[in-house]
Each structure stands twice: as C-alpha cells, then as structure tokens.
Amino acid sequence: MDQPPKESGFSSSWLLIAGLLLGAGAALLGFMAWDSSSKREHASAGSGAVIELTAANWRSEVLESKVPVVVDFGATWCGPCRDLAPTIDRLAERYKGKVKVCKVDVDKASDIAREYGISGIPNVMIFDAGQKQESLEGLRSENTYVRKIDALLAHLGGR
C-alpha cells in the first residue's frame, strides 16, 4: 500500500497556528498557505498514475512509449491548469494500462514546451508512437478528452 510522503520542515498546519497566534493579518497568510498546500496535495493525490515529465525522462516516457501518451502542459501558477488537474487524475485512472498520462511543468521544462510550440496553457497533447496526434489548448470538458482518447484507441485497434 502506498504511504503518504513524509513532510519536511514546517507543515502548513503550523503556519496556520502561527498565523492565528500572531493576529488577523498573519492568520490570513497562514490560511492561504494551508489552503494552497491542501489543493496541491489533493491535485497530486489522485490515482498516483500521472507521471511528472522532465527533460531527463521525456524521451523514454513519451517518444519511446509503447502506448499512447496524454501530456498535460501547465504551470503551478495557472488557475485553469489547477482546475484541469482532477480531470487529468481521472483520465489516468480511467485509462490505466491503455494510455500513459503525464504532466509537464512548462516553467521547469521550458525546452520541451518551446520544442512543441506551447504558447498557452493548459495545453493537452496526445502522442502515439512518439508523434503528436492532437493538441487541445485551453481548459476543455473531461468528455472532450475522453472522446479524443477513445477515438485514438479505436483507430489503434484497427492496426
């Protein structure tokens, strides 16, 4: 069974308590730190099947993948990207074993974003055999991603 990651340093709960002790302004800052931390934990909790991509693993995880790959290009500061995170987690769970689902932080992997012409985020690309098949810029409904993935899988079934 997966164990939750161990926290290092001060937890956001301690920031909230410190903020409460120091006054209203500090309490607000503490709450904001706690709230953003809990959202990050929730977004990454998901199925655990979403792979974080970097320049180091791009080739092996995407270009050399034996299964189709859905890549979510985004950034931590991007509101629509954060809104998309639960959908990406559900897609990873839904297509486990059939499709690889990955995320790229465009700030940390700017070379990859530049190479694929990412000019707006979120941008979800679907790859097959190392080749880009689809590019969906902007926040879309979960059903849109499902239809695109299902169409690709149906097409691949004919090979």
Catalytic site residues?
Answer: 78, 81
Separation CA 64–CA 54 (nearest Å): 14
Please name the residue ranges forming H helices in the chain.
12-22, 24-45, 58, 79-94, 110-115, 142-157
Tell me the two tokens of residue 42. Answer: 């929730």
Separation CA 4–CA 21 (nearest Å): 29
**Residue 105 DSSP symbol:** E
